[in-house]
Amino acid sequence: MSPSPQPNLQLVHAVYNTVLTFAKAGVPPFMVGPAGCGKTTIAKQVAMELGLEFYYTGAVESAFQLRGFRDAHGNTMHTPFRDASDKGGVFLFDELDASDPQAIVSVHAALDNGVLDAPDGMVKRHENFRYLAAGNTWGHGATLEYMGRNALDGASLDRYGTVAMDYDPALEANLAKQERERNPNAPDPDNWLAIVHQARKAVRELKLRHVVSTRAIVYGLKLRAAGMEVKDVFDAVVAKGLPEDDAEKVVKKINMTLTQFEEALKPARRAAIMSTVAELEEKIVSIQTAETDLTDAAKKAADVSKQALDLTGKVGTSLAKASTAVSQLQTTQAMLDGIGAGATPVVTAAEQALEGIRNAAGGAAVAQP
């Protein structure tokens, strides 16, 4: 026969070993603690460690829900309590303080007598039957947090050894660690754990009638891993049902705002920020390079501007000289034009004189013998 599976000791409540000792000794423990602190989980883990079946019943209104009953056809209807008593197993009577007192009496009678008065006869208690009970109050009646709770008489309370419970931060931290190992790409569970722990502390400091249980951590981690935004998860599993002004008071007592948590929790956002930083660093280098280039360009521009000014001065001087030369040229041209006009009659007279000389010379030649 293979050995029974054992609970993960990293995921057990601080009072687990105490409850296990009660169960092994056959002494009924009454686990008292706030909702969602792990009472049912402990009972299941005890059954696992003892290698027994787990049976469960919540708040009951009638003894028949525990003892069993006959239906309209005369058939006996079994209950978890009846089967655990008959076959052996770990039975958890949860919300004992919310059950009908007369129903509780029938359970206690079976525990005291070792026999269950079932509809079809007496059922002897099995040697491996283990009985556990749990509640949110100490059996003294309703409280502000748990209005629907009944007072248990002294005889009932006397049958139990009480085990006080509260939320176990170490267990909750291990649950967050388990979620991190199960889903490495999920948002950082430790941040969500911090939100829940601080919210729980705030609720207690503000004396609000509100429960922030371990379920808020477990459910929150699952929803975060599924991609739900942290603000929506907070509203759904932490602030659920709180009046808006009370919820705001709780949020104000959390060290970091939900928006800051959201930014810290998003790996993609974190990666985007780092990428942006890298881009900015590249741009800064580019700007510094461009600044150097601009400085060099400005210096070159200043040099060119100086050269341009020098050239403009030279061009101005040259233009002045050219203007003087043009003026002189114009004067010379006028003089030449005047000289030309005066020389024309002289040239004409000279030409006529030469022509006369030629004529005279020709006549002289003819007159010779």
Tell me the average confidence (pLDDT) per consecutive run of 10 residues in the chain, 369 residues long.
67 95 96 94 96 94 87 85 95 93 89 88 93 90 72 86 94 88 81 92 93 92 89 93 92 72 54 62 72 72 68 67 69 66 65 72 54
Within this chain, do residues 160 and 19 fall inside the same structural domain, yes or no?
yes
Give pLDDT, residue 285: 74
Residue 359 lies in a domain: no
Within this chain, do residues 211 and 149 fall inside the same structural domain, yes or no?
no
Give pLDDT, residue 317: 72
Residue 256 lies in a domain: yes
Within this chain, do residues 44 and 85 fall inside the same structural domain, yes or no?
yes
Within this chain, do residues 40 and 157 fall inside the same structural domain, yes or no?
yes
Within this chain, do residues 25 and 108 fall inside the same structural domain, yes or no?
yes
Residue 191 lies in a domain: yes
Within this chain, do residues 129 and 146 fall inside the same structural domain, yes or no?
yes
Within this chain, do residues 197 and 323 fall inside the same structural domain, yes or no?
no
Within this chain, do residues 141 and 250 fall inside the same structural domain, yes or no?
no
Q: Is the pTM of this model over 0.85?
A: no
Residue 363 lies in a domain: no
Q: Residue 305's domain spans which residues?
A: 267-342
Which of 131, 146, 164 is the C-terminal boundary of a domain?
Answer: 164
Which of 244, 265, 286 is the C-terminal boundary of a domain?
Answer: 265
Give pLDDT, residue 1: 44
- Per-residue buried b or exposed e for 9-21, using 16+ beta carbons within 10 Å of the residue's own CB: eeebbebbebbbe
Within this chain, do residues 41 and 121 fall inside the same structural domain, yes or no?
yes
Within this chain, do residues 205 and 337 fall inside the same structural domain, yes or no?
no
Which of 245, 265, 285 is the C-terminal boundary of a domain?
Answer: 265
Residue 354 lies in a domain: no
CATH number, domain with residue 157: 3.40.50.300
Residue 353 lies in a domain: no
Residue 132 lies in a domain: yes
- What total of structural domains would you count in the chain? 3
Give pLDDT, residue 138: 82
Within this chain, do residues 79 and 140 fall inside the same structural domain, yes or no?
yes
Within this chain, do residues 133 and 14 fall inside the same structural domain, yes or no?
yes
